[in-house]
């Protein structure tokens, strides 16, 4: 399992709900956990590893404690607005300013199938919104201002030129 880079088509697909939590899911989540820590990221959505299901991992503090895996997440409330720079593991080396809600409330399921409610603000809220966008086939470059997008256009073209289109499905 590897992190896929833009412009891999899986990044533009709307992920399907995860309907069963089985051994295969646990194994893939374990691999995703290894990848996120190797890449020193704070969030990783299943589509970013070529697995088009509604699941992501978030660990904004890197402490390895608490619930980090969220299945079939839904944001139920957004409050405020912040325009901050963010990056993405599927766009190595690219950063850009994106407007996101300052605080959110959300619901998701754990790996044990328990429904949970989350309240997050700041970086955690930003990460939730970013990862849910991935599940909807929306990328952070889609939310950048035209000026920010123009500033990285040469890097995006380079990703597009170097994309081979070959990937082993997960």
Each residue of 93-102: pLDDT tens digit? 999 999 999 9
Domain that holds residue 80: 9-162
Can you tell me the mean pLDDT for 10-33?
96
Q: How many other C-beta atoms are found inside a 10 Å radius of the C-beta of residue 133?
A: 18
CA angle 53–18–33, rounded 5-degree value: 60
Active-site residue identified among 20, 131, 158, 160: 131
Instruction: List pLDDT tens digits, range 102-113.
Output: 999 999 999 999
Active site residue 117: no
- Give domain status of residue 131, yes or no: yes
**Per-residue model confidence (pLDDT) at position 66:** 57
Q: How many domains would you assign to the chain?
A: 1
pTM score, two decimals? 0.92
Whichever domain contains 67, its CATH number is 3.90.45.10
Assigned domain for 47 exists: yes
Instruction: Indicate whether 140 belongs to any domain.
Output: yes
Asked if residue 64 is part of any domain, the answer here is: yes
User: Quick check: is 92 in a domain?
Assistant: yes
- Does any domain span residue 102? yes
* 1 is a domain residue: no
Say yes or no to pLDDT of 52 above 60: yes
């Amino acid at each position: 399992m590897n992190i896929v880079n833009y412009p891999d088509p899986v990044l533009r697909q709307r992920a399907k709900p995860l309907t069963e939590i089985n051994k295969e899911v646990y194994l893939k989540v374990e691999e995703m956990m290894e990848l996120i820590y190797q890449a020193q990221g704070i969030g990783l959505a299943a589509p970013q590893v070529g697995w088009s299901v509604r699941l992501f991992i978030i660990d904004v503090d890197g402490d390895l404690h608490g619930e980090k895996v969220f299945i079939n997440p839904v944001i139920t409330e957004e409050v405020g607005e912040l325009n901050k720079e963010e990056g993405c593991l599927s766009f190595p080396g690219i950063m850009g300013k994106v407007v996101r809600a300052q605080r959110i409330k959300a619901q998701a399921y754990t790996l044990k199938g328990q429904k949970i409610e989350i309240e997050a603000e700041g970086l955690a809220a930003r990460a939730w919104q970013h990862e849910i966008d991935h599940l909807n086939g929306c990328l952070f470059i889609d939310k950048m201002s035209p000026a920010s997008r123009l500033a990285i256009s040469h890097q995006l073209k380079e990703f597009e030129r170097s994309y081979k289109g070959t990937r082993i499905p997960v």
